[in-house]
Structures are given as structure tokens and as C-alpha cells.
Structure 1
Amino acid sequence: MSRVSINPPSLPTPKGYAHIVEAKDMKAIYFISGQVPVRRGRVISKDFTKQTELAFDNLKKALEHVGLSFSSVVKLNIYITDLRFLKELRKVRAKFLPGDALPAITTVGVTALARRGAMIEVEAVAIK
């Protein structure tokens, strides 16, 4: 499997993501459902940063279960209930994502998530 992050000079310079990810010669594609900040059946904390760390940690566990890591992720969709937390989101996201293999990312502000109390949900597409 090979992957290349592509950022055309005709588009704005991305910060912490790639505009395009090309994947070749892969064995499998994994679609990981939205991960929320739930531990032991409950949403943890009302703190956005803590929720974000747990959502990404849950995604990491899902990836590891199938023998993958964040370097295998080619697409992230992130849903947050308050766009004022973008700065905090980017800080946490940077801790998990490898700088040399950034995925394409879409972040969407939503009024609510299906899991009551959750402020963030992260879904991914990964390749092997």
C-alpha cells in the first residue's frame, strides 16, 4: 500500500490536513463509525478537550483492533457541537495524527450529536 498527501498550489495551504490523499495498491479499506467520548457507557466530562482526547483514543483503539494506526487513515470526518472549539480540536488532533501522512479532513459544526452530552464525534476511512 502506498499513500501520498497532495496539496495543489492552486488551493489554500492546509493546516493539519491534506486536500487530497492518493491511495494505491491497498489490500483493504476500513470504514470506522463515528467514535464519541464514551467510557464505561457514559460520556465523560463536559470539557471539550477531554472529550476530544477520548474520542480520538477510542478511534485509535478501533484502528489497533484491525492492525492499523493513524498513519493508515486517509479521511476523517469530525463533527463538533460548537465551532468555537476549533483551536482545541486542532491541538488534540495534532497529537494523534502523523505529520508526514496527514489525511483529508472535513470538520462540520452540528447542533447536536446522537449521543447525548457528546460534543464531538470522529469517523474515519483507513487503508491497509
Structure 2
Amino acid sequence: MAKREAIFPADRHALYKTHGYSAAIRSGDLLFVSGQVGSLADGTPEPDFGRQVQRAFENLASTLKAAGCDFGDIIDVTTFHTDPEKQFETIMAVKSQNFVQQPDPNWTAIGVNWLAGFDFEIKVIARIPAN
């Protein structure tokens, strides 16, 4: 049985320690990434929505990099949105800049009414490439 290994990006933000969770867990050749939000270094939300989404993707990229992955290794995506109808266009613009390899990963988008002060969150499962 594969042991689980915690993965943290070099530039990790304060939320991991504050809320007691790992940025990602490696199990075998799979990487399970916790929900990434558009936080500033101190863990507070980026106030501008477009920038918050961009920061969430930047935080995701840093976590993927720490495990030797990139966006092309992502298999499954789940996103959480506080106002999907109004936010969708902004999110899709940022998503299209980051997911450039075909085929696109699976994607489930969920509307929620609370994200601890944030308006967008993204979590993924990726396959870690063989060295």
C-alpha cells in the first residue's frame, strides 16, 4: 500500500497552518490537491475577484510544481463558486490560459454560498509523471 506524503509549495500561504491541512497529498503516482483559493501570503482573500481567481491558479501551479507536475498532468477538476452566473466568464478566461493541453480534464463546477471569505476555490487530482 502506498504511503501518503504531504506536499507543500515553496511559497505556501498561512491558511495551511491556520486550518491544519496539507496543500496536497501524494499517494503512489496520484496527487490529491486541496482546494486552492486566491489568498494573499497572510491567508486573507485577494479582494479583486479576477485577481483572486488568478491567484488561486497561481497557488495551484505552485503546489503542482512542488510535486513535479503541471496543468497537463491534471485528470480531474472541481471548482466552487459563490455566484456562478456572474463569475463564469472571468473564471473561464483564467482557466483557458492555464489549461492549454488537450484533452481537457474532467471538470465539475459547484455553486456554494460560503467559502470562508473567498469567492472561488479549485481542487484537482493529477497523475505524477514518472521520472
Alignment TM-score, normalising by the size of structure 1: 0.73
Matched-pair identity in %: 26
Residue aligning to 2:91? 89
Matched AA of 1:40:
A
Residue aligning to 2:107? 105
What pairs up with 1:73-88 in 2 under 5 angstroms?
73-83=74-84, 84-88=86-90
Q: How large is the Cα RMSD of the aligned pairs?
A: 1.3
Residue aligning to 1:14? none
What pairs up with 1:1-128 in 2 under 5 angstroms?
28-83=29-84, 84-113=86-115, 116-128=116-128
Return structure 1 stretches of 4+ with deviation > 3 angstroms. none
Deviation of 1:101 (Å): 3.2
Q: Any stretches of 5+ residues in structure 2 without a counterpart?
A: 1-27
Tell me how far apart the structure 2 counterparts of residues 99 and 29 of structure 1 sit (CA, whole Å): 19
Deviation of 1:39 (Å): 1.9
Pick the structure with more strand per residue. 1
Q: Is the 8 A contact 1:46 1:117 kept in 2?
A: no
Alignment TM-score, normalising by the size of structure 2: 0.72
* Structure with bigger RCO (C-alpha 8 Å, 6+ apart): 1
Q: Any stretches of 5+ residues in structure 1 without a counterpart?
A: 1-26
Specify the SS of the correspondent of 2:113: coil
Deviation of 1:40 (Å): 1.4
